[in-house]
């Protein structure tokens, strides 16, 4: 129950143990194409270019940036946590003109401020994190999309995909990436990525990364990513296919509602224990809760005791918040009320 990886769905784990097929086996090609269709559903998009990129969520971030930013391109990045900062780092490595728009950690971005900065700079792209994992804050991507002007909009959906409503087409998002290891309930190892035709037409012709060159990988036609570039991570794609199947069999709306219910129950329970949540109620994520460590409590010692005695893992904060904040996840298969109840009882006893 940390910030990720979460406990995977049993279906996703079962799929990892199946016999390995060749990456051009007709059965695997069918699974691959169906996985892409399922990703379109959870992303809320009809984008032709929708693929699982090999690697964790950070691989999706790198693939998105290197395929859009040429040296000298201007990108405006909304920063209110660690993953917004990582976007800036990566954009600098693309030799882009990076304009960070900073907000206090633990608070959401202001879409109007970001869009004005992008307009004034003539930015090729605006980038923001939808669900900031380092702080537990939700950012309004739809409002950012409504005010993006001529800029492309990139959204980090690593902690939101599978656990929140995503409607990328309606929101005006041009590039988005996620991760398998959080609300999708799949082991870490793939980064779902999607891109509009407008973004595809503006992509870098020869990006600095060969492995993440979407023009060579394909992703725009069935099987292209498998036939002409690299050997697909067969077991991981089978696991993602199964995990997405578990989400869609439950019903995407039901899955989102389960995450929301568990998040509310956790947050109410933590407050009931006398603990203080970091983020204001209207800005909180349901699937990732940040709670202040009480005065006099050794954060690391409690986390170790929680793991050894109860088998429950929660996360520490990051940077200067490492010993001041706990990050508690209700994601994927772990987002169950029985787990919330166990965690709250264990915290009550240990505190």
Domains identified in the chain and CATH numbers: 10-249 (3.40.640.10), 252-350 (3.90.1150.10)
Task: Please provide the distance, in angstroms rounded to a whole number, between the alpha carbons at the two ends of the chain.
Answer: 18
Element (H, E) at 338: helix 337-350
Q: What is the pLDDT along the chain (351 residues), one digit of tens a residue?
A: 999 999 999 999 999 999 999 888 889 999 999 999 999 999 999 999 999 999 999 999 999 999 999 999 999 999 999 999 999 999 999 999 999 999 999 999 999 999 999 999 999 999 999 999 999 999 999 999 999 999 999 999 999 999 999 999 999 999 999 999 999 999 999 999 999 999 999 999 999 999 999 988 765 555 554 555 778 899 999 999 999 999 999 999 999 999 999 999 999 999 999 999 999 999 999 999 999 999 999 999 999 999 999 999 999 999 999 999 999 999 999 999 999 999 999 999 999
Residue 349 burial (C-beta neighbours within 10 Å; 0-12, 13-18, 19+): exposed
User: What is the full DSSP assignment across 283-312?
Assistant: GB-SSEEEEEPPTT--HHHHHHHHHHHH--
Cis before 5 (ω within 30): yes
Residue 110 and residue 140 in contact, taking contact as beta carbons nearer than 8 Å:
no
Place of tokens 């023009």: 215
Instruction: Note the pLDDT tens digit of each residue in 221-278.
Output: 555 545 557 788 999 999 999 999 999 999 999 999 999 999 999 999 999 999 999 9
Q: What is the pTM for the complete model shown? A: 0.95
Tens of pLDDT, residues 26-48: 899 999 999 999 999 999 999 99
């Amino acid at each position: 129950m940390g910030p990720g990886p979460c406990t995977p769905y049993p279906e996703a784990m079962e799929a990892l143990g199946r016999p390995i097929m060749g990456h051009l086996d007709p059965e695997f090609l069918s699974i691959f194409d169906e996985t892409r269709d399922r990703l379109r559903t959870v992303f809320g998009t009809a984008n032709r270019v929708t693929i699982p990129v090999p690697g964790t969520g950070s691989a999706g971030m790198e693939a998105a940036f290197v395929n859009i930013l040429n040296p000298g391109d201007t990108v405006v990045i909304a920063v209110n946590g660690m993953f917004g900062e990582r976007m800036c780092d990566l954009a600098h490595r693309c030799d882009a003109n990076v304009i960070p728009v900073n907000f206090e950690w633990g608070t959401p971005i202001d879409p109007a401020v970001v869009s004005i900065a992008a307009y004034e700079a003539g930015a090729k792209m605006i980038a923001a994190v939808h669900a900031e994992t380092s702080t537990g804050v939700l950012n309004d991507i739809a409002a950012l999309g409504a005010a993006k002007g001529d800029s492309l909009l990139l959204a980090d959906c690593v902690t939101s995909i599978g656990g929140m409503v995503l409607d990328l087409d309606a929101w005006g998002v041009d590039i988005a990436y996620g991760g398998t290891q959080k609300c999708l309930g799949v082991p870490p190892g793939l980064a779902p990525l999607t891109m509009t035709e407008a973004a595809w037409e503006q992509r870098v012709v020869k990006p600095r990364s060969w492995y993440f060159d979407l023009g060579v990988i394909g992703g725009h036609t069935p099987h292209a990513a498998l036939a002409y570039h690299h050997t697909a991570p067969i077991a991981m794609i089978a696991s993602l296919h199964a995990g997405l199947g578990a989400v869609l069999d439950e019903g995407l709306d039901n899955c989102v509602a389960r995450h929301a219910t568990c998040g509310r129950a956790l947050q109410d329970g933590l407050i009931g224990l006398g603990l203080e949540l970091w983020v204001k109620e209207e800005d909180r994520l349901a699937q990732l809760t940040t709670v202040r460590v009480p005065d006099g409590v050794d954060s690391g010692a409690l986390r170790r005791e929680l793991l050894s005695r109860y088998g429950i893992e929660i996360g520490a904060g990051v940077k200067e918040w490492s010993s001041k904040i706990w990050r508690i996840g209700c994601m994927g298969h772990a987002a169950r009320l029985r787990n919330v109840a166990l965690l709250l009882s264990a915290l009550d006893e240990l505190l």
